[in-house]
Amino acid sequence: MADADLLIGEVAAYLKPQDVEHIREAIEFSHAAHQGQTRQSGDPYISHPIAVARTLTTLHLDVQAIIAALLHDVVEDTKITAEQIAEKFGKPVAELVDGLSKLDRIRFETREDAEAENFRKMLLAMARDVRVILIKLADRLHNMRTLESMPHEKWERIARETMEIYAPIANRLGLNDIYRELQDLSFKHLHPNRYAVLFKALKVARGNRREVVGKILDAIRQRLAEQHIQADVTGREKNIYSIYKKMQSKSLAFAEVLDIYGFRVLVNDFAACYLALGALHGLYKPIPGKFKDYIAIPKVNGYQSLHTTLFGPFGTPIEIQIRTHEMHKIAAAGVASHWLYKSGHFSTNDLHKKTHQWLQELLESLSQSSDSSEFLEHLKVDLFPDEVYVFTPKGKILSLPRGATAVDFAYSVHTDIGNRCIAVKVNHELAPLRTELRNGDRVEIITAPHAKPNPAWLGYVATGRARGHIRHFLKTMQSGESAQLGERLLNQALQTLGVKPQDMDEAHWDKLLKDTGVKSRQDLLADIGLGRRLNMVVARQLARVGDAAPSETAANTVITIQGTEGMAVQFAKCCRPIPGDPIIGVIKSGQGLVVHTHDCPALRKGRSGSEQWLDVVWDKNITRPFEVGIKLVVANQRGVLAKVAAAIAEAESNIENVNFTNEGEYTALHFTLQVNNRLHLANIIRSLRKIPEVMRIIR
């Protein structure tokens, strides 16, 4: 096995002789376990784990990680158990292999469920030991390099998963080379024709621009030498996918993408970075707005560098990165630099702390996800690579994904701040909560003790953390409110059967929960409130286990609508009932109790035999406002809208929404108003009728 000899040579360069011997044993163990197995390409299977291990040697990972890479498919694809691995190579290696093994032995309903659970398991293992994901990324990199041997129909799924999840994870961990290669390989298999065209064009451009690049390199080196700045200057070609992204985002042809080459300047110390920047700004003019200081404010993956774009010779934009040698090491290896350069004189502790913190926050937000699609959505959102940096009132810097809003900021500070936020000041000025934040914004959140998340926030938050906490709060709140409504509905049904609710003690409830297979009393009541179970059916079951003789002669009771039930009681948008209207309740599965007016046309039209209808009445002491819709037909005259708005305000009502449609000589104004009850609405209509231009009013 020539590859095995190469691997031994690579590990011998940085590991102790006894560690190299352990790796020899692991190669033999893996080879024996996979004996007779081949890859889709026809190569012996052992070629894959050896290739994965060789990628890890470029990061100088330790002996345990190299052995785990060699054994990562053994438990999954052979009869070898994790216990046997632990016995031969130690418990840490067995734990790494277990974190990498898929959940193939568990049956899932859909591929998405299996995928989500595999990622969840991988992230949990990664939070315990980041080497799990380093091995997984090396595994995915080799699989992508050999994807041509897989059936063509699998290309898109594997490439898309790599582009959306694995490449961003590599970026988030600062593994820049792996990140770029995964992007290019994914692009190649997702869009093979586009990749081929760009690859060919880049090859031609490389020859055409060689002379220009050489002149720029010479000019940069000469200027830095004149300023007595010791530096290594190299040219680098941008990867194909980043060129494609630039063409797409700016609608450019390939010939218009001039900065396909970048230049990297490596200096000895921190101060020399800024001296080099000044020297190069004197050589070529900088392009305004194209300077980024990632040294003062590092990226969340630990990356530090100065980025500037200059007007080069012949009008060619030149992109230059300036950093120290130590910064370059972290830029290349990211979180793996802990192993690669741990003998050096700089520390990567902060990077490891940040990575661990990110993983904990990611797992916390993902733990709120109730289903696989929600989990994968949160995962992809949190791996979004672009960042904005904003400041708290105390000057602390927070990193958020591009497109993040004030609500995202609030949740990134603390869950309670997010749950209770009511307003925001951006750069000392009040702004809407949906305001998208920009680099350098100073953000101050205003909270109130009794405030709670608004479901509308889900429409514009950009972080998985915020989305997860909002959904969790709303589900918890809905469950609590639904349980309260369910209890009222169940008590009503018990009274209808002539059974006193207070006679049903804990023993009766325990037996009912056992019979129905529901976890808790709260869950059962919530199911009733949400219409998933009929109150009369549950009441009969409870009466039966309580040995109470059901009697259907008792008077039917009605549900009183108090207006404070929250999400468990909804007021139908089709008829917008308000206190004073005759009303009827409909229990709809998953929605709870929906209240309509008695004469609602939509209710009559859409009536279903499966729905449960309830008698409901308004509480006499309701004080909260309700929304109601009215239509005004008015003459087309100047100032009529102002008169109507003034009359509504004088009648002590708020306008929630207004729109209009033109009807020739007349205009139809559609208002959504806030009113206290039917009498309040009557007073508003009376005021509006006094306006001469108002021809007709319809509710």
Domain boundaries, the chain: 2-195, 196-340, 472-618, 626-698
**581: closest CA among 677, 437, 449?**
677
- What would the pLDDT profile of 639-661 be if each residue is shown by its tens digit? 888 899 999 989 988 888 888 88
pLDDT at 145: 92
**Token pair 């000589």: residue:** 665
Q: Which CATH architecture has domain 196-340?
A: 2-Layer Sandwich (3.30)
Q: What is the DSSP string of 415-461?
A: HHHHHHEEEEEETTEEE-TTPBP-TT-BEEEEE-TT----GGGGGT-
- Position with higher pLDDT, 373 vs 189: 189
**pTM above 0.75?**
no
Residue 172 has pLDDT above 80, yes or no: no
**Which tens digits make up the pLDDT trace of 369-401?**
555 555 565 555 555 446 778 888 888 878 788
C-alpha distances (whole Å) from 156 to each of 185, 186, 189, 243, 533 are 11, 8, 7, 21, 43
CATH architecture of 2-195: Orthogonal Bundle (1.10)
Helices (DSSP H) in 47-110: which residue ranges? 47-57, 63-70, 74-77, 82-89, 91-100
pLDDT-derived band of residue 364, with 50, 70 and 90 as boundaries? low
Residue 604 pLDDT > 90, yes or no?
no
Q: Any idea how long the chain is? A: 699
Residue type, 534: L
Cα 6 to the chain's mean position, in Å? Answer: 41
> Which segment of 340-354, 462-476, 606-620 scores lowest on mean pLDDT?
340-354
Beta bridge partners of 445: 424
* Whole-angstrom distance, CA of residue 475 vs CA of residue 567: 10
Average pLDDT value for the chain:
81
Instruction: Give the C-alpha separation, 4 to 43, whole Å.
Output: 14
- Backbone φ and ψ of 260, nearest 5°: -75, -10
Helix (H, G, I), strand (E, B) or coil at 112: helix
* Contact (CB, 8 A) for 159 and 186: yes
pLDDT tens-digit readout, 482-540: 788 788 888 877 887 778 887 787 888 888 888 777 878 888 887 777 666 767 778 87
Give the strand pairing for 626-635 and 666-675.
antiparallel
Predicted confidence at residue 547, as pLDDT, reads 61
**Residues whose CB falls within 8 Å of the CB of residue 324, separated by 6 or more in sequence, listed in order:** 266, 267, 268, 269, 270, 272, 273
Distance CA 25, CA 31 (A): 10
Strand order from edge to edge, sheet including 612-618: 559-561, 612-618, 583-588, 592-597, 569-571
How crowded is residue 588: how many other Cβ atoms within 10 Å of its Cβ? 16
Contacts of 422 (CB under 8 A, 6+ apart): 446, 447, 448, 451
Which DSSP state fits 402?
A: T
Burial of 685 (0-12, 13-18, 19+ CB in 10 A): middle
Q: Is 589 helix (H, G, I), strand (E, B) or coil?
A: coil
Q: Which residues contact 82 (CB under 8 A, 6 or more apart)?
A: 75, 94, 97, 98, 101
CB 415 within 8 A of CB 401: no
Task: Work out the pLDDT band at 405, boundaries 50, 70, 90.
Answer: very high
Check residues 103 and 560 and name the one with the higher pLDDT. 560
Q: Residue 346 — pLDDT band, cuts 50, 70, 90? A: very low
> Please, what CATH class does the domain formed by 626-698 belong to?
alpha beta
Q: Please answer whether residues 315 and 259 qualify as being in contact, where contact means their C-beta atoms are separated by less than 8 angstroms.
A: no
What is the crossing angle of helices 17-33 and 47-57, to 10°? 150
Task: Count other C-beta atoms under 10 Å from residue 284's C-beta.
Answer: 21
Condensed to tens digits (0 to 9), the pLDDT of residues 16-30 reads 999 999 999 999 999
| Residues carrying an active site annotation | 76-77
Secondary element (H or E) of residue 506: helix 506-516
Could you write out the DSSP letters of every residue in 317-381?
A: EEEEEEEEHHHHHHHHHGGGHHHHTTTSSS--HHHHHHHHHHHHHHHHHHTT--SHHHHHHHHHH
pLDDT per position as a tens digit, 89-133: 999 899 888 877 754 444 445 566 666 666 666 667 666 777 888
pLDDT band, residue 609 (cuts 50/70/90): low
Count of Cβ atoms closer than 10 Å to residue 350 Cβ: 10
